[in-house]
Structure 1
Amino acid sequence: MGWLGLDDTDGLGGGCTTHTMHRIITTLENECSENDWVVSPRPSLVRLWPFARRRTRGNAAVAVEITCNSESSRLALCARLDELWNEIVVPDFERNGTAITSEHSEREQSEASPAMLWSPARPDQEWYWRCVKGEVELADCEAVIPPGSRLWQCAGGHGLIGALAAVSWLGEHDHTWEVTCYRMDENISLKRRIPESRCIILDEKFPETILNRDPTISKSLIAPRTPCPVLFGIRAEDGDAAIGAAKWIFESADCEPISGWQLWKTNQATDDHITTISKSIVTSPISVKKHGHAAFTTDCGTDIVAFSQGGEVNRMAQSLRQGDEIEYSGLCAPDGSTHVEKMRLISYSDKRRRRPLCNCGKRMKSMGNGQGIRCPDCGERRPDSWDDELAIESPFALGQWVEPSASNRRHLAAPLGRRGGQYSKTKHGNYEMLGNHG
């Protein structure tokens, strides 16, 4: 038994690491009987820390378990992996790995730096948690590589970080599934042909699928917008549901032919990247930046940023007042700020409230801390109290969680509806949504 991990083979100009691994898996599956090895039908697709400096387009690494039933089988596999590295991985890197300027980000892009790992044992899964929650350096890998492993690296081999992470991920605490369907080579430069009529009713026909459509803008989310070999991907809580939904689409006469498909066990929609849920008091006025991003500071000294693309999260942030108590989950950025991904309002600030009316019709005022309230006209006094009606209303109910629309969430972000909108703290210090999953 052993594990094959791969990462960092593609670039903005094309390619896809999942496609590279799919071709390797398909080749090895076709050679199983003559070589006495067995390839797992459930390879892993793992998204890593969204702020990693050398992150790729989807920031995903992949791995698959392979069982060799004899020593001769193991030796034959290692020899075959040598060949596949040169026949599949290196050509994919040379064709697609050049760094080009992004149309959507000012971040400096890195050239692909592929690495492939064959390991007879899994590294401790703490390596995965390090890679999904923070920056990891290539030099850190040396202490994690299991004895007896084989490495293939090119152009620096930074993909070793992700390859090790994908191999070490177990997904026992939480996981989802994705079926990725791949295009014929001759179609990659052409517009994708996917039956929109089936995409519209996908969630209704296959209720265990998730994150495949954004109902707020009536937009399908299954197809990428880049010139990569992926035609579409279907995500689901259950692997069989993902397979059934994908087949229902690609078997349609209105869908372009595919070269193959792959089922992946994934960490998508798990919130594994989130380190904490925090309760805080808003202590600064809300600052609305260029492009509509909202920013404010809390009593914990944390700078909170809610990007305009966050939709309801941004709208809630802009509606906050100093003194409001909030609860939020988010991602700590390299500059120390927290990019909020989910938020709710717990209690209103006194700045939203007003004193009750006196019997004479005037609004009462405070006489000072702990001294009650008094009418400025007739002098009537009462114990400290507030009017039931807010002077400054909030468009959001107390306790109501909000999140970005489906088309503006990270791959790792767990939708509120996935498990009923409740959170539970895990052993790794992050919070995840409660409920059942496949």
Structure 2
Amino acid sequence: MLHIGIDDTDSIKGGCTTWLATEIIAELSEFDLIGPPRLVRLNPNVPWKTRGNAAVALTLGKGVGSKILVGEFGKEKIYMYTSGRDMKYDKHAILERISTLVRGGSMPDSQPGIVISDVFLPEGLYWQGVTNIVTEEILSDAIEGAISRGYRGSRGIYGAACSIAWTGSSSNPNGISHTWELIGYREKEKWGSKRDISALSVHEVGHLKGVFSCHDSDGKVAMVPNSPCPVLWGFRGTEHKILIDNFDNLGPEKPLRWILYKTNQATDDHLRTMAISDISDGDSVWLEVEVSSKPNVIKGGHRFFKASDSQGATVKCAAFEPSKTFRHAIDSLEVGDSLIICGSFKKDTVNLEKIRILELAKRFSKSANPVCDCGRRTHSSGKGMHYRCKACGKKYDRPQMIEVTPDLEIGWYEPPASARRHLTTPVSLMR
């Protein structure tokens, strides 16, 4: 089979790697898609990423058996086959054809890369790319026998190779090996203009079975990008048939073309379970901890608290302002609460992506100040001292602390969809 990976064709100014993938599918029309196109998100902590750090892989050949609709380019329907056989092809000639598209469709400040292989690359390369950094040595060993080309540098080759290494069949602790995203693209003359997608239409599809990350709880649309890229919307879910059957309800603006991607989004593949003492800058972690300091608020609305693991190591945790209502849960944490925290580690701090409350420490509140026999309210004489009536001088014991019901419940808490990382499994999909 012919395996093609592309990466790093976009930038924060625009462009879109998934759009270029549709151009490649159209260009190589003599081939059939074997399996769906694959949208692969990689390590979200690398400093040189563009927006979502996504690469795309295609597997091409001669389709065998029944075909399945996975896209539509104008009036042309795009199908995939679940199995296929090899076709004769010249990898170098195909590289030249793809290179023309990539050169013309990439942003000037990007470093696009193309990898072409006859086989899936080793899956370990994917796991290195989604959880860590791929070194030049690791890359060269993994792509031996493949051909590649990079422009304005070699950065894109790394992601392109990792995308070919992702099979979408391995399962993580959440039991989610993959999800789906159906991406709609705009007419070229509309690129950069405001997208005309109603919140009502988004709300209607957002409650379908397995659909996620369409909108926030306050109704804010999350499936429509803010950048001037070709994407109209990204419709995400766990069942591809539901996406295909319902995307036409989004509007009023309709896509010029659409394509269905199998993806590692919402899988938590980037997270690694480890001890606090083993964390390094750039790691995305899954830690079981106990809250060791009360959360505090700093300028800008950011929340910070400290947590410790079973070995006694301590780490600072943060919920930054963009996480919005998630910060309310953080505000209600108390010392002694037992948690699972998930997030990325940078500069001695875990930037929280979600938390799971396992056990809540008891909460106590001070009773009201005693009322003196003379009818006046008493006041504390100082820390640890009696309460005293200022009118008659009579002293009273300190009031008892009373146990109160926590503001929180056992379970998962997360930021809204618009502030969520692509790889993070939404709470709605957690087991």
Counterpart-to-counterpart distance in 2, 1:117 and 1:407 = 32
1:46-90 CA-partner distances (Å, limit 9, x unpaired) = 111111111111210110111268987222x5413312212x101
The answer to whether 1:163 aligns with 2:160 is yes
Letter in 1 for 2:222: L
Q: 1:352 to 1:165 in 2, by over 3 A?
A: farther
Q: 1:344 to 1:177 in 2, by over 3 A?
A: closer
289-298 or 232-241: bigger deviation: 289-298
Which residue of structure 2 lines up, in the alignment, with residue 281 of structure 1? 290
Letter in 1 for 2:268: D
| 3-state DSSP of counterpart to 1:278 | strand
Which residue of structure 2 lines up, in the alignment, with residue 83 of structure 1? 97
More helix by share: 1
* Structure 1, unaligned runs of 5 or more: 33-37, 99-111, 356-365, 367-375, 379-385, 419-432
Which residue of structure 2 lines up, in the alignment, with residue 316 of structure 1? 329
1:363-402 matches, within 5 Å, as 389-390=403-404, 394-397=406-409, 399-402=410-413
Q: CA deviation at 1:267?
A: 0.9
Which residue of structure 2 lines up, in the alignment, with residue 24 of structure 1? 24
1:347-371 CA-partner distances (Å, limit 9, x unpaired) = 455674679xxxxxxxxxx9xxxxx
Which residue of structure 2 lines up, in the alignment, with residue 181 of structure 1? 184
Which among 265, 278, 293 is matched to residue 302 of structure 2? 293
| 3-state DSSP of counterpart to 2:153 | coil
The answer to whether 1:416 aligns with 2:427 is yes
Which among 208, 211, 228 is matched to residue 210 of structure 2? 208
Counterpart-to-counterpart distance in 1, 2:95 and 2:248 = 30
Counterpart-to-counterpart distance in 2, 1:215 and 1:353 = 31
What is the root-mean-square deviation in Å for CA atoms of aligned residues? 3.2
Q: CA deviation at 1:240?
A: 1.5
1:280–1:298: 8 Å Cα contact kept in structure 2? yes
Which residue of structure 2 lines up, in the alignment, with residue 306 of structure 1? 319
Letter in 1 for 2:344: C
For these two proteins, the number of residue pairs brought into alignment is 368
Q: CA deviation at 1:411?
A: 0.9
Which among 88, 106, 111 is matched to residue 73 of structure 1? 88
More strand by share: 2
Q: CA deviation at 1:129?
A: 1.4
1:131–1:165: 8 Å Cα contact kept in structure 2? yes
2:306–2:314: 8 Å Cα contact kept in structure 1? yes
Q: Give the percent of matched residue pairs that are identical in Structure 1 and Structure 2.
A: 29
1:192-211 CA-partner distances (Å, limit 9, x unpaired) = 2235442231134x433221
Q: 1:279 to 1:222 in 2, by over 3 A?
A: closer
1:110-145 CA-partner distances (Å, limit 9, x unpaired) = xx1111001112222122112111233445311211
1:113-262 matches, within 5 Å, as 113-145=111-143, 147-172=144-169, 173=171, 174-204=177-207, 206-216=208-218, 218-249=219-250, 254-256=252-254, 258-262=255-259
Which among 332, 339, 362 is matched to residue 351 of structure 2? 339
1:256-297 CA-partner distances (Å, limit 9, x unpaired) = 4x3311110011111111223433222234332221111122
1:47–1:268: 8 Å Cα contact kept in structure 2? yes
* Structure 2, unaligned runs of 5 or more: 63-83, 172-176, 274-285, 368-383, 385-394
Letter in 2 for 1:309: P
Which residue of structure 2 lines up, in the alignment, with residue 57 of structure 1? 51
1:331–1:341: 8 Å Cα contact kept in structure 2? yes
Counterpart-to-counterpart distance in 2, 1:198 and 1:327 = 37
TM-score, normalised to structure 2, is: 0.77
Q: 1:91 to 1:284 in 2, by over 3 A?
A: same
Counterpart-to-counterpart distance in 1, 2:326 and 2:203 = 26
Counterpart-to-counterpart distance in 1, 2:419 and 2:199 = 20
Letter in 2 for 1:180: I
Q: 1:70 to 1:293 in 2, by over 3 A?
A: closer
Counterpart-to-counterpart distance in 2, 1:142 and 1:92 = 26
Which residue of structure 1 lines up, in the alignment, with residue 74 of structure 2? none
2:364–2:403: 8 Å Cα contact kept in structure 1? no
2:212–2:426: 8 Å Cα contact kept in structure 1? no
